[in-house]
Structure 1
Amino acid sequence: MSVQDLRGAVRGRVRLPGDEGFDEVRRPWNRAVEQPAAAVVEAADAADVAALVRFARGTGVSIATQPNGHGASGRTDGTVLLRTGRLDGIDVDPSIRRARIGAGVRSGALQAAVAAHGLTALPGSSPVVSVTGVALGGGLSWFGRAFGWVADAVTAFDVVDADGEARRVTDGDLFWALRGGGGDYAIVTGLEVALRAAPSVVGGRMLWDARQARAVADVFRDVTADAPDELTAWFALMHFPGAEPMVAVDSTYLGDEETARKLLAGFDALPTPIADTRRPMAVSELGGITAEPTDPSAGMSRAELLTDLDDALDVLLAEPVAPLMAVQVRHLGGALARPSDSPHGALAEPYLAYLFGLPSPAVAGRQRALAAALPASGRKPVTFLSPDESLADALEPAAIERLRSIKAAADPRGLFRANFSTVDTGDH
């Protein structure tokens, strides 16, 4: 058998090179990443995933799994690219604060489903990323300071293993590996996640002319120095094509509006912002705070975990943002700094810098220069890895070695190829 026989092996849609639409469906979310594939399969359901794994065992082809291609690294040459976007079921049990979801469920869809019950999952800045993809990389969210990694909220994984068998995983080495070590060990078809109470949430963006950048940065430093875990604030320098440079602070608070405004009162002493969208909101609206694009586009990013905020702000404010489009500093700490039974473990670094621009040598050069100048630990979360990086840039050597052992036991034939794999870690 060969990939040409796929249509007889699965019920979902199969596209092969030369088929109409093949070049479009194989592309990842980030259009700057070239993603080759021997075939693309859109699985109909979990049973279809199992059928594909059994087919792969018989042909020796590897499977690269992506709900929609966020976080793609392009390491898919010769693989069957598995799309799990059709596995989009959501079952919420508010009595025990749990949700069972398919691997293709997007963050915004889960938030919409749980909001009616006064509950929340752990959403990040984008409503269109898959919950599964975020959890497999550990995952940072608006409420990470209060509740830890997104992966910490996963109570069970529904997977198809390398033998083509469906399993429910709730503990042990495989459970540990999937909670932030990537998708290299089994194909996840669904999750069970713990939900949190969110009777009141305040969120929004304050936006100023970039001439206020230093003043805004100083208040951001003071506010985050002793912020409660329920408050999250992100500082951003932005310069989009055709627009003037700006500075923003995005925030969420798990609580009432009066307290949220008191905690952020330092910003009220600054010149009146161009815009201030802070307000009580449903948890289903959190994805709109930063107004990130919801359609695929090209971009080049780099992230660094910061050990010192003052020095980092000095570096970032020393020169104009351009040729980058955005420089974001996220406040971490809180529950993220506490013990976590996951590959990344506790985040010792209190802040993260995220550098983004359109793909170009100038942007790449600026990112490298800033990364070298920033007070950075040299690590970063898995979900913030760039295509030219590896798990060794995110995880400690002991975690990498444990993940390699789990990979060898769970997938000895190398059927599964994640965006970032234990076999690609090199000698970082």
Structure 2
Amino acid sequence: MEFLRGRVLKPGDDGFDAAARPWNLKDQTVSAVVEAAGADDVASLLRYAAGNGLTVATQAGGHGASGNTDGAILLRLTDFDELHVDPATGRARAGAGVRWGAVQRAAAAHGLTGLAGSSPIVSVTGYTLGGGLSWFGRAHGWAADSVTALDVVTADGGSRRVTAESDAELFWALRGGGGDYAVVTAVEFALHPAPSVYGGRMVWPADRASAVLDTFREVTASAGKGLTLWYGLASFPGADPLVAVDVTYLGPAAEAEELLRPFGKPTIADTRRAMTPADLGEITADPIEPSAGTSRSLLLTSLDEAESALLAQPLAPVFGVQLRHTGGALAGPSSTPFGPLTEPYYIYCFGAPIPATRAGLDELTTRLGKSVSPRKPYFALSPGDTAADAFDPPTLDRLRAVKQRLDPGGTLRANYPITAGA
């Protein structure tokens, strides 16, 4: 391999186990880890891998790891920490190792926001390559639709800046079609005005779950694009079961509180307040340390079967369910591979990494019945899924054509390879 400035770790080396570990602490087997120090390191690694019939799997934080890395070299891009926010143009540039919390802090200083999700420690690039379902997606669509340019290194070691004008097909594929076509080292994207933001969590005991779900259904049926609500059920071992509603609103606090009046006064906790985009991570307080778990995500075409599916039986062994209202701008025109998100609700379920949890998730999916959409976004795929669960056959063919043009030898291996099943 050509000279690398970054670290190369092999099994048995000090630090290898930590470097090879994904965010979800399941086993991830790799042949080596390369912590690239720059784009030249990435190019050198890809040329070496292509010349020796090896594969490279790229992860920044490892949040989307699927366990398909056996035999691959794991490429870490943590050191790609460039971040620039330009308030004059309303755009940001983030290296592949930059996390959303850093972007939001920089943007908030100018009354702007990126299209971040619930966790401030997820990498901007990995999130965006999967599409990016944001707190503000109802107002502004997929995070991927806000991308204006990407810096990439292709499988042959070539570096290029990709725009809609320079390579329309690659630009289209990378914005929500995963990372199977090139290694993205930086992404540029539009920011959005956020002079006033309101957010927080309302919590009640589980005996209010049905009433809160009814109100959630009522409020989301007429919600404007600035209001986003997530309904959640939690039943962790050793703790009382709870029901919660997480909220953000792009607008003044008084307007938000009026829109949320039907929920009444939460009886356990209420963290709602005026905030900045830098504070979004406080709403759900997602874990900041890696842990092990089993999860599943689905899109729902309606809530007709949700109440009986979610509330008729105990959740256990599933620990939690999060039901997100989508719609708004997400259902509008989109130039991403997934296209418009026409399903009005997204559901995320999680539990312990044991076979009983998978069985519980299967049962819950069955109870949701015909309301479950046959598709899900690329970012929502989980072990056992393939890219065919996200994209229809014509879109798959188009994505595979991009893969064949840029990486015919299969040097790059995405979390969910676009060629699986081809």
TM over 0.5: yes
Q: Deviations over 1:109-162 (max 9, x none)?
A: 111111111100011011111010011111101000000011011110100012
Aligned position for 2:79: 86
Aligned position for 2:353: 359
Letter of the 2:284 partner, please give it: T
1:216 positional shift:
0.4
Match of 2:207 among 205, 211, 229: 211
Letter of the 2:273 partner, please give it: R
Q: Map of 1:30-109 to 2, 5 A cutoff?
A: 30-32=24-26, 34-109=27-102
Counterpart of 1:72 in 2: which secondary structure? coil
Aligned position for 1:138: 131
CA contact (8 A) 1:139 1:381 kept: no
1:225 positional shift:
0.2
In structure 1, C-alpha distance between the alignment counterparts of 2:24 and 2:242, rounded to whole Å: 25
CA contact (8 A) 2:93 2:187 kept: yes
Counterpart of 2:297 in 1: which secondary structure? strand
1:219 positional shift:
0.4
In structure 1, C-alpha distance between the alignment counterparts of 2:84 and 2:42, rounded to whole Å: 20
Aligned position for 1:318: 312
Q: Deviations over 1:352-393 (max 9, x none)?
A: 111110111211111001112211012111111111111111
CA contact (8 A) 1:302 1:356 kept: yes
In structure 2, C-alpha distance between the alignment counterparts of 1:31 and 1:39, rounded to whole Å: 18
Letter of the 1:320 partner, please give it: P
CA contact (8 A) 1:233 1:252 kept: yes
Q: Deviations over 1:199-219 (max 9, x none)?
A: 000000000000000010000
1:18 positional shift:
1.4
1:60 positional shift:
2.1
Counterpart of 2:104 in 1: which secondary structure? helix
Give unmatched runs, 5+ long, in structure 2.
Answer: none
In structure 1, C-alpha distance between the alignment counterparts of 2:183 and 2:275, rounded to whole Å: 35
In structure 1, C-alpha distance between the alignment counterparts of 2:308 and 2:217, rounded to whole Å: 12
Aligned position for 2:173: 177
Identical-residue share of aligned pairs (%): 58
Match of 1:238 among 231, 234, 239: 234
Aligned position for 1:226: 222
Q: Deviations over 1:5-64 (max 9, x none)?
A: x4x5311011011111212211110012x2111110111012221221222222221110
Q: Deviations over 1:81-127 (max 9, x none)?
A: 00001101101110000011101111111111111111000110111
Aligned position for 1:187: 183
Aligned position for 1:405: 401
Give unmatched runs, 5+ long, in structure 1.
Answer: 1-5
CA contact (8 A) 1:205 1:277 kept: yes
Structure 1 stretches of at least 4 aligned residues deviating more than 6 Å after TM superposition? none
In structure 2, C-alpha distance between the alignment counterparts of 1:283 and 1:187, rounded to whole Å: 29
Counterpart of 1:81 in 2: which secondary structure? strand
CA contact (8 A) 2:199 2:247 kept: yes
Aligned position for 2:8: 14
CA contact (8 A) 1:9 1:52 kept: no
Q: Map of 1:226-375 to 2, 5 A cutoff?
A: 226-268=222-264, 272-374=266-368, 375=371
In structure 1, C-alpha distance between the alignment counterparts of 2:414 and 2:192, rounded to whole Å: 30
Letter of the 1:69 partner, please give it: G
In structure 1, C-alpha distance between the alignment counterparts of 2:188 and 2:347, rounded to whole Å: 31
Aligned position for 2:152: 159
Whether 2:22 is the aligned partner of 1:28: answer yes
CA contact (8 A) 2:226 2:251 kept: yes
Letter of the 2:118 partner, please give it: S
In structure 1, C-alpha distance between the alignment counterparts of 2:11 and 2:407, rounded to whole Å: 27
Quote the RMSD (CA, aligned, Å): 1.1
Counterpart of 2:395 in 1: which secondary structure? helix
Counterpart of 1:423 in 2: which secondary structure? coil
In structure 1, C-alpha distance between the alignment counterparts of 2:341 and 2:308, rounded to whole Å: 23
TM-score relative to the length of structure 2: 0.97
CA contact (8 A) 2:137 2:143 kept: yes
In structure 1, C-alpha distance between the alignment counterparts of 2:283 and 2:43, rounded to whole Å: 38
In structure 1, C-alpha distance between the alignment counterparts of 2:395 and 2:267, rounded to whole Å: 45
In structure 1, C-alpha distance between the alignment counterparts of 2:53 and 2:88, rounded to whole Å: 45
Letter of the 1:342 partner, please give it: T
In structure 1, C-alpha distance between the alignment counterparts of 2:3 and 2:47, rounded to whole Å: 9
In structure 2, C-alpha distance between the alignment counterparts of 1:219 and 1:92, rounded to whole Å: 39
CA contact (8 A) 1:206 1:275 kept: yes
CA contact (8 A) 2:220 2:325 kept: yes
In structure 2, C-alpha distance between the alignment counterparts of 1:293 and 1:99, rounded to whole Å: 26
Letter of the 1:391 partner, please give it: A
In structure 2, C-alpha distance between the alignment counterparts of 1:288 and 1:366, rounded to whole Å: 29
Aligned position for 2:113: 120
In structure 2, C-alpha distance between the alignment counterparts of 1:396 and 1:250, rounded to whole Å: 32
In structure 2, C-alpha distance between the alignment counterparts of 1:163 and 1:125, rounded to whole Å: 36
Counterpart of 2:304 in 1: which secondary structure? helix
In structure 2, C-alpha distance between the alignment counterparts of 1:94 and 1:127, rounded to whole Å: 21
CA contact (8 A) 2:116 2:132 kept: no
Letter of the 2:21 partner, please give it: R
Letter of the 1:301 partner, please give it: S
1:325 positional shift:
0.9
